Amino acid sequence: EMRDTPRPEVPLSSPSLDLTVRPRRNRKSEWARRLIRENVLTTNDLIWPVFVIDGENQRAPVASMPGVERLSVDQVVRAAERAVKLEIPCIALFPFTDPSLRDENGTEATNSDNLVCRSVRALKKEFPELGVLCDVALDPFTSHGHDGLLSEGKILNDETVEVLVKQSLVQAEAGCDIIAPSDMMDGRIGAIRDGLDAAGFVDVQIMAYAAKYASAFYGPFRDAIGSAKALTGDKRTYQMDPANSDEALREVELDLAEGADMVMVKPGMPYLDILRRVKDTFAVPTFAYQVSGEYAMIAAAAANGWIDGERAMLESLLAFKRAGADGVLTYFAPQVAEKLKKG
Ligand code: PBG
């Protein structure tokens, strides 16, 4: 921290510039900066994404995400305990599905006893007061690594939506609080809302990955869930073109009309402009996903001593707040919550 400037009654020199307005006056000391601060990051803003693996007492590091581990269900429960202690409101689950359970159609996604459903039940039993978010998409379960059903090189839309509704239902039955479709199929929010309501899950929220871009920043995530090697081709026929901004507003508008309770922009840091436009246009609960590649960049540079990792983490998360986010999905969640708690 810089030392505060000397008291005004001891003038250093007579000012040579004739300035009426001096913006630096409001930055002269820590208390003055605190007084005019426009945005604050709190633990209430955090959703913690967690990778789940099979087995017991397992913690397997993700090589491309230093500090992040895949956890077996019992360890996910320990993570939840940490989240509750740190007052992180919500945890998000992403499964590493055993390759033997992956197939063309992602059948395991709708198995009510799959890794995600077992995790949700374990979490809800131990920590019912902690929010649980489940991703909806087929990529952790398909042998080809795509988010939907693949036929003759094409991702089928309506047929995929039918499966996504079933996936949402098994997750809701397990006790999931927030269904978060990340697949980018057309019409899935409306279909999932109808499916949830018909089954009596009127209070299960939907957070739509509304503006999700076909991004290079998902690489480490695909390593973590084991879909990187499997993936044939890319996801550009369903995820958005990074060149587009107006299109994000149309996607958000549709998802809200179909019943989304909250919307998300993804990735985060390279898309702060989208976040700001979405928040200004719709004034609904809006989230950003600081994705795996963003985490990896900060963690790797910090590990090399090239940046101050802790400061970069806090600054990147505050930037989401400044850009209009109500909350952020971030792999830094436990670290930042610990830091905020210490003050
Ligand atoms: C699955 C999904 C992805 C992410 C969240 N849900 C990957 C993808 O779309 O390929 C990425 C998250 C991250 O990179 O941290 N549909």
Q: What is the pLDDT of residues 154-173, one digit of tens each?
A: 999 999 999 999 999 999 99
Check: CB of residue 50 under 8 Å from CB of residue 93.
yes
Give the residue whose CA is nearest to atom 8 of ligand 1.
218
Do 110 and 117 touch, CB atoms closer than 8 A? no
By CB neighbour count within 10 A (0-12 exposed, 13-18 middle, 19+ buried), where does 160 fall? buried
User: How do 69-72 and 59-61 pair as beta strands?
Assistant: antiparallel
CB-CB contact of 59 with 50 (8 Å) = no
Torsion of CA 149, 122, 52, 47, to 10 degrees: 90
Q: Of 166, 229, 266, 341, which one is the catalytic site residue?
A: 266
CA distance 201 to 163: 17
333 found inside a domain: yes
Read off the pLDDT of each residue in 318-336 and give the average, rounded to a whole number.
98
Give the domain extent around 160. Answer: 40-342
Q: Whose CA is nearest to atom 10 of ligand 1?
A: 218
pLDDT of 13 reads 75
* Ramachandran angles phi, psi of 75, nearest 5°: -75, -30
The pLDDT value given to residue 229: 78
Q: Give tens-digit pLDDT for 106-129.
A: 999 999 999 999 999 999 999 999
221 close to ligand 1 (CB < 6 Angstrom): yes
What is the Å distance from ligand 1's center to 197 Cα? 26
Digit-coded pLDDT (tens) for 21-30? 999 999 999 9
Residue 308: inside a domain, yes or no?
yes
Distance CA(264)–CA(267), nearest Å, equals: 9
How many Cβ atoms are within 10 Å of 315's Cβ, its own excluded? Answer: 13
How would residue 133 be classed by pLDDT, with cut points 50, 70 and 90? Answer: very high
- Annotated active-site residue 212? The verdict is yes
Q: Is 266 a catalytic residue?
A: yes
Cα angle 309-313-314, degrees, rounded to a multiple of 5: 120
Q: Is residue 240 part of a domain?
A: yes
What CATH number should be reported for the domain holding residue 274?
A: 3.20.20.70
The answer to whether the complex's ipTM is over 0.95 is: yes
Distance 26 CA to ligand 1 centre (A): 42
Q: Does residue 1 fall inside a structural domain? A: no
Distance 221 CA to ligand 1 centre (A): 6
d(CA 32, CA 54): 52
Q: What is the mean pLDDT of residues 38-53?
A: 98
- Using alpha carbons, select from 100, 109, 115, 142 the residue that is nearest to residue 231: 142
pLDDT tens for residues 190-207?
A: 999 999 999 999 999 999
What pLDDT was estimated at residue 230?
A: 79
Residue 32 lies in a domain: no
Provide the percentage of residues in the chain whose pLDDT is more than 90: 93
Burial class for 65, CB neighbours closer than 10 Å (0-12, 13-18, 19+): buried
User: What digits encode the pLDDT tens for the residues 240-276?
Assistant: 999 999 999 999 999 999 999 999 999 999 999 999 9
The answer to whether residue 5 is domain-embedded is no
Does the pLDDT value for residue 8 go beyond 90? Answer: no
How many structural domains comprise the chain? Answer: 1
**pTM score:** 0.95
* Residue 104 main-chain phi, psi, to 5 deg: -50, -40
Residue 15 lies in a domain: no
291 lines ligand 1 (CB under 6 A): yes
Strands 149-151 and 154-156 come out as: antiparallel
Instruction: Using alpha carbons only, give the angle 182, 187, 192 rounded to the nearest 5 degrees.
Output: 70
Q: In this structure, what are the phi and psi dihedrals at residue 9, rounded to the nearest 5 degrees? A: -75, -5
